[in-house]
Structure 1
């Protein structure tokens, strides 16, 4: 008799006060989030402990990297940034969280960043969370990303460097300001395209954002960065089966995927995708372990488009940072230009500077590292799941399933390793002791990830940067149009920059003027 009465009362409450019930459930959910076992003692923004929406708003504002820096300054090395998100800044935990044995696996944030093939997600080395898939694909692809195996493609990059110089020569000759940041993006895209599919995409030739690839990529990256804070939201938006059904397949409209598909069809003939002749061998056909005949069309397109998706943005961000910080720090610019000029006078530089020649310029490498330290391409937490057994950090026992990670923007400003961290000091990479330099190098490498999931394409970027920067500074004097004005930054997963507007002057003209003036 009692149970039916209780059920009847409960039913009347549900029907009579539905909003009250919803509100009660919401409050209970928020409280369960806040007082999640093992995390309640970890400091952080008060609202973040209740809901992931705090992070969604922070990412949408484009301030995640700055927020992370401020939070760790305020709260210390362990900060709670969500109901089950914890941000960590202790460099000693990098090899623990980003191990080589796939203990700390990637989170649901990553699969969002993959292409679709016939309307089905096609995982790649970056987006996949499956250790077996990642291990297998990495084993096949890794040999092609070593410097010795990349250097045969250096003439491809040379052609992009030479084309970039000729296009910029026009701006210098006409004394016309140039958005150098855009042209560095064009160079990065065409260079990766040449390496990957034996053909330039056409950015340098056309001198524009073809098919709005750059602007669309930024928009999509912002979507993934924001929605990735609550991956389930993706299933209600672009991952919705209804929307997916109504949309055309990605291989018919996405410019990068369409271009990759066309390149595969053009450069690989017939069954098995065998190269038509040895001169047309590209990145994937050159390396026996991942020869095209060992891949089907889907695998080729996924791997090649991943090169374009991942390699271009990180390289162009690093290039823009180098030019910007050099222009903002004239003494560093003067020292690097003098080093390049000295090497040139001594006959150590070719007309188109080689990677080997550029690698012999220590200050150039120091500028590269310091620029990436101050403006890392990735500005968000590199998320991982805590494995069974949990993670002990000082007094905190973080339970299994918690999402933890380290933001490179935070570790790059660790004042115990980088004194005066906000200052641009390339000399720190040359003057530090061997022991201290090793600590700095560990944090620098973390800009490309760490452990099993470390970015394999970093050597492509390294070669492209080494080649183009000294070439630019040997050919042109580069100055910001308005040295007092800071660039604009739009940040999600990648920290994009706008506003690298420059005046270019041919170095030969500058030297002639100086000679005429007796300087």
Structure 2
């Protein structure tokens, strides 16, 4: 048989049995997924080993964090969530997977969440997969996120606090219910505005969303959470490289980028040569001022692109995660009156400034700090795996060799609900973060303070709300300052309650967002 004849026969056979051939190829593909070398023995939902579709559908339902907790309770420390994805629940693996070397690199889930500017994707500290690029970019901006640098602008945060109190007081004075969950996000947005641009972004003044930012961010998170399960689809969807070229107006769809550029233009303009000229007399400690000054003195160290990308990252990530934590703190306090009374008593008895200062909260309010930690343990802001690729050659994880290229990761919700580390994990118990608390009730005379320190150290190893390693959230100090300041300020001024037995509604769209029931505020009659 000649080669031409053979090709003709094959073509005829394919034409005659297309569906049979497609079925066979699909079966082979599914079976090859299921029996991947090194992963075939790792347990998980039966369908998950065959196709990514199971994981995608689970994420679409918006409760993937609870699914993961249940799966680890059933299967153990390793759970296979997709043909090439393994979820890990062992806190001992945190320094392995998220080490400072960064050899477990980020996956295709992350670049989806970057802005597009000047007709191409612009990677930020969060989205870049390159450890070299991340290291170089972080060097440029890390100092601006230090506690010392941020507290130089504490007076700006206090201005937001005063306006927040004033606006909430209007609800309290007329006895009107308030959507406190939304107001907490307005506060977080305006604080980010002050720290980033030296100006409020208008959320508190308006008492509502500004330029559709909150809605836009929710849409971006929804897309990222779902497309992130099949990131190879992104180049054919919003990541199509032809879109910015064929449709230059596409960049105007990016609400975060446009909001950032609008805020920048209230202070300066971006000229064609990329220079940023701040108004005379407006140079301060805010991030735009600091980075524009660096750009002016050393363009090779900080480019206009760097400034825009880092500022837009603040806008995207700086409000939602903090608002989620603030909602969690207040919600759990409301639902646990004994904890609320204990915290209010601590606040009333402490000697605090009229506007609570961060240092005061850190040094004089130990129970507040325990409340904050417990709320973030019980409801961490991020609800999906922090994915990483196993390095070439593979790695031993939980005494199992995982092949190189496999996606592994840890979900904060799974770690934080591990009853071997956090007894009674579904309960809100701030005392667990304080020395002297025992999961078994009253401490006996034989128990030592060393036991407390060991227990606390073990919990700290499993406390994962900001990630770990070289990619730990760079904005964590911003969030912590806001929590330490606004919670005691709110509770010293108002009694906060939720009428009836109404519960919040939570939805996991990468960030686990909550819709809080309407709250009632009453001004406190302090002695």
Same fold (TM over 0.5): yes
Q: Per-residue deviation at 1:243?
A: 4.3
Counterpart contact for 2:196–2:286, Cα < 8 Å: yes
Matches for 1:213-362 after TM superposition, within 5 Å: 213-245=213-245, 247-249=247-249, 252-268=252-268, 272-277=275-280, 279-284=282-287, 287=290, 291-293=294-296, 294=299, 295-343=302-350, 348-359=351-362, 360-362=364-366
Counterpart contact for 2:43–2:75, Cα < 8 Å: yes
Q: Distance in 1 between matches of 2:290 and 2:462?
A: 31
Task: Provide Cα deviations, 1:54-95, integer angstroms capped at 9, x if missing partner.
Answer: 111011001110110000000000011111000000000000
**Match for residue 49 of structure 1?**
49
Note closer, same or farther for the CA distance 1:262–1:296 as it changes in structure 2 (3 Å cut).
farther
Matched, 1:157 2:176: no
SS where residue 507 of structure 2 aligns? strand
SS where residue 116 of structure 1 aligns? strand
Q: Per-residue deviation at 1:158?
A: 0.6
Of residues 485, 489, 496, the one that matches 2:502 is 485
Q: Distance in 1 between matches of 2:336 and 2:243?
A: 49
Matched, 1:406 2:410: yes
When the two chains are superposed, the root-mean-square deviation of aligned CA atoms in Å is 1.9
Say which is worse superposed, 391-400 or 462-471, in terms of deviation: 391-400
TM-score, scaled relative to structure 1: 0.93
**Match for residue 427 of structure 1?**
431
Q: Distance in 1 between matches of 2:72 and 2:88?
A: 8
Give the paired residue count.
Answer: 504
Q: Distance in 2 between matches of 1:307 and 1:21?
A: 51
Q: Distance in 2 between matches of 1:356 and 1:423?
A: 29
Q: Per-residue deviation at 1:248?
A: 4.7
**Match for residue 440 of structure 2?**
none
Q: Distance in 2 between matches of 1:502 and 1:297?
A: 43
Q: Distance in 1 between matches of 2:291 and 2:203?
A: 30
**Match for residue 380 of structure 1?**
384
Say which is worse superposed, 220-229 or 434-443, in terms of deviation: 434-443
Matched, 1:472 2:490: yes
Note closer, same or farther for the CA distance 1:96–1:6 as it changes in structure 2 (3 Å cut).
same
**Match for residue 436 of structure 1?**
455
Note closer, same or farther for the CA distance 1:90–1:290 as it changes in structure 2 (3 Å cut).
farther
Query: Which structure's residues are more often helix, by fraction?
Result: 1
Q: Distance in 2 between matches of 1:353 and 1:279?
A: 27
Matched, 1:109 2:109: yes
**Match for residue 448 of structure 2?**
none
* Unaligned ranges ≥5, structure 2: 438-451
Say which is worse superposed, 484-493 or 257-266, in terms of deviation: 257-266
Q: Distance in 2 between matches of 1:241 and 1:153?
A: 40
Matched, 1:141 2:148: no
Of residues 494, 503, 516, the one that matches 2:520 is 503
Q: Distance in 2 between matches of 1:253 and 1:112?
A: 15
Of residues 437, 462, 475, the one that matches 1:457 is 475
Matches for 1:14-163 after TM superposition, within 5 Å: 14-163=14-163
TM-score, scaled relative to structure 2: 0.92
Q: Distance in 1 between matches of 2:509 and 2:263?
A: 30
Counterpart contact for 2:196–2:288, Cα < 8 Å: no
Q: Per-residue deviation at 1:119?
A: 2.5
Note closer, same or farther for the CA distance 1:183–1:105 as it changes in structure 2 (3 Å cut).
same
SS where residue 210 of structure 1 aligns? coil
**Match for residue 515 of structure 1?**
none
Q: Per-residue deviation at 1:253?
A: 4.2
SS where residue 309 of structure 2 aligns? helix
Task: Provide Cα deviations, 1:126-177, integer angstroms capped at 9, x if missing partner.
Answer: 0000111101011111111111111011111111111000000000000000
Q: Distance in 2 between matches of 1:92 and 1:427?
A: 24
Q: Per-residue deviation at 1:236?
A: 1.9
- The runs of at least 4 consecutive aligned structure 1 residues that moved more than 6 Å come to none
Counterpart contact for 2:93–2:398, Cα < 8 Å: no
